[in-house]
A = this chain, B = another copy of it.
Amino acid sequence: MNKDSGFSQGIGEEGGLRTRHHGNRHRRSEEARRAVLEAADDLLAEIGFAAVTIEGIAARAGVGKQTIYRWWQSKADILMDALLEDATQDLIPPDTGDLGSDLRIHLSNLAKFLTQSDAGAVFRALVGQVQHDPVLADRFRTDYLTRQREVDRIPLLRSIERGQLARGVDLDLALDQLLGPIYFRVLVTGQPVPREITDTLVKGFLKEMEAEA
Interface residues of A (CB under 8 A from B): 48-50, 124-125, 127-133, 137, 141, 145, 149, 170, 173, 176-177, 179-185, 187-190, 197, 200-201, 204, 207-208, 210-212
Contacts and interface: CB of A to CB of B under 8 A. Distances in A.
Nearest to A176: B181
25 contacts: A48-B133, A125-B131, A127-B131, A127-B188, A128-B128, A128-B129, A128-B132, A130-B187, A137-B190, A145-B188, A170-B200, A173-B197, A173-B201, A176-B185, A176-B197, A177-B201, A177-B204, A180-B180, A180-B182, A181-B184, A183-B183, A183-B184, A183-B187, A207-B212, A211-B211
> How often does this chain occur in the complex, in copies?
4
A182 B177 CA distance: 9
A177 B204 CA distance: 9
A188 B177 contact: no
Nearest to A149: B189
For A180, A185, A210, which residue has the most chain B Cβ atoms within 10 angstroms?
A180
Contacts of A173: 181, 197, 200-201
B176 A177 contact: no
A201 B124 CA distance: 25
